[in-house]
Copies of this chain bind each other. A is one copy, B any other.
Amino acid sequence: MLINCVAYHDGQKLADIPVEDISDYILRPDCFVWVALREAEPAELSVMQEEFGLHELAVEDARRGHQRPKIEEYGDSLFVVVKTVELKDDELLVGEVDIFVGNNYVLSARNNCSQGFLGVRARAEHEPHLLRQGPAFVLYALMDAVVDRYFPVVDALEGELEQIEERIFIHGSQRDNIERLYALKRKVMTLRHAVAPLLDAVGKLHGGRVPALCLDTQEYFRDVHDHLHRINGTIDAIRDTISTAIQVNLSMVAIDESEVNKRLAAWAAIFAICTAFAGVWGMNFKFMPELEWHYGYPMAVAVMVSVCCYLFYRFKRSGWL
């Protein structure tokens, strides 16, 4: 579905143009066309391929979707795939934005992502001195928008980890913790799949050999790279912490169980001794003098109670009860 198709000249919006005129506008000097698509049909992509002269393999990738984030050079133009990650009801939704960039055009096609990039366009149109830098700046603005949207997701995941950590040493919450840690791990992996390959790819847009298109905007892409680096560092820290937390959780289960076992052992011993005494005095021997005593029974109960109390005291002292 076409969202906008606008021609710009020297950083200023010229006009909304019909799709058929694209191929004319991109021939004018100092002019570039910025087209935005959403959930593009194969047919729309074919039209765009013709108008912009896109490479078959790139269009094929956009058509099939489910690419990994990457930046590929086709001659002078770039084909960029970035993943959007949104948080919705405790679930991560992953979308995809395919961006084709040439010397005088930008074509972005987003799929499965609820938020659009109209804000990006609006901001860019208000800063003609920046937009004048052309398609590379638009590419930067789009990538920056996508990457900025990772931050709240990372924050949410960090917050979730902290919530779990607060409960990690609480008795009886281990089952819950381990389920939440596992779910968190999966979310982190999802985010990592969006970030890690992009980090590698953006690294090639500044520093060493840079595509001609991005030569003048290297500092901007270094900024994006730096943001991705920060997110990636946080992701790695979360993964590391999750893995330690799972280990620690297992230890806590073992410690709790060991404490329950000790307590069980202690009580069992106390009752077993009572039962043994009662059993002895319940034997049917004819000549058991204490059975005949007048105060035999109270005495027996006293013996049992005092033995129990003594054991209770011993176990208490050694920390078993």
What's the Cα separation between A48 and B109 when bound, in Å? 41
Q: Contact between B265 and A264 (Cβ–Cβ < 8 Å)?
A: yes
Q: Contact between A248 and B286 (Cβ–Cβ < 8 Å)?
A: no
Which of A10-18, A19-27, A83-91, A169-177 interfaces with chain B? A169-177
A112, CB-defined interface residue at 8 Å: no
Q: Contact between B249 and A253 (Cβ–Cβ < 8 Å)?
A: no
List of B residues within 8 angstroms of A181 by Cβ: 248
A276, CB-defined interface residue at 8 Å: yes
Chain B proximity mask over A265-276: 1 for CB below 8 Å, otherwise 0:
101110111111
A67 CB, nearest partner CB in chain B, Å: 7
A220, CB-defined interface residue at 8 Å: yes
Q: Contact between A246 and B256 (Cβ–Cβ < 8 Å)?
A: no
Q: Contact between A243 and B244 (Cβ–Cβ < 8 Å)?
A: yes
What's the Cα separation between A271 and B270 when bound, in Å? 10
A278, CB-defined interface residue at 8 Å: yes
A57, CB-defined interface residue at 8 Å: yes
What's the Cα separation between A258 and B273 when bound, in Å? 23
What's the Cα separation between A23 and B89 when bound, in Å? 53
A143 CB, nearest partner CB in chain B, Å: 14
Q: Contact between B260 and A254 (Cβ–Cβ < 8 Å)?
A: no
Q: Contact between B281 and A285 (Cβ–Cβ < 8 Å)?
A: yes
Q: Contact between B186 and A179 (Cβ–Cβ < 8 Å)?
A: no
- Copies of this chain, complex-wide, total 5
List of B residues within 8 angstroms of A319 by Cβ: 172
A294, CB-defined interface residue at 8 Å: yes
Which of A33-41, A114-122, A131-139, A226-234 interfaces with chain B? A226-234
What's the Cα separation between A36 and B294 when bound, in Å? 95
A43, CB-defined interface residue at 8 Å: no
What's the Cα separation between A175 and B257 when bound, in Å? 12
Q: Contact between A285 and B296 (Cβ–Cβ < 8 Å)?
A: yes
List of B residues within 8 angstroms of A297 by Cβ: 283, 285, 287-288
Among B68, B275, B284, contact of A272 (Cβ-Cβ < 8 Å): B275
Q: Contact between A267 and B269 (Cβ–Cβ < 8 Å)?
A: yes
Q: Contact between B257 and A280 (Cβ–Cβ < 8 Å)?
A: no
A210, CB-defined interface residue at 8 Å: no
A interface list, Cβ under 8 A from B? 55, 57, 61, 67-68, 70, 72, 74, 168-169, 172, 174-175, 178-179, 181-182, 185-186, 189, 193, 197, 219-220, 222-223, 226, 229-230, 233, 237, 240-241, 243-258, 260-265, 267-269, 271-276, 278-288, 290-297, 300-301, 304, 319
Q: List 6 A-B contacts (CB under 8 A).
A: A174-B251, A247-B250, A254-B254, A264-B269, A278-B282, A287-B294
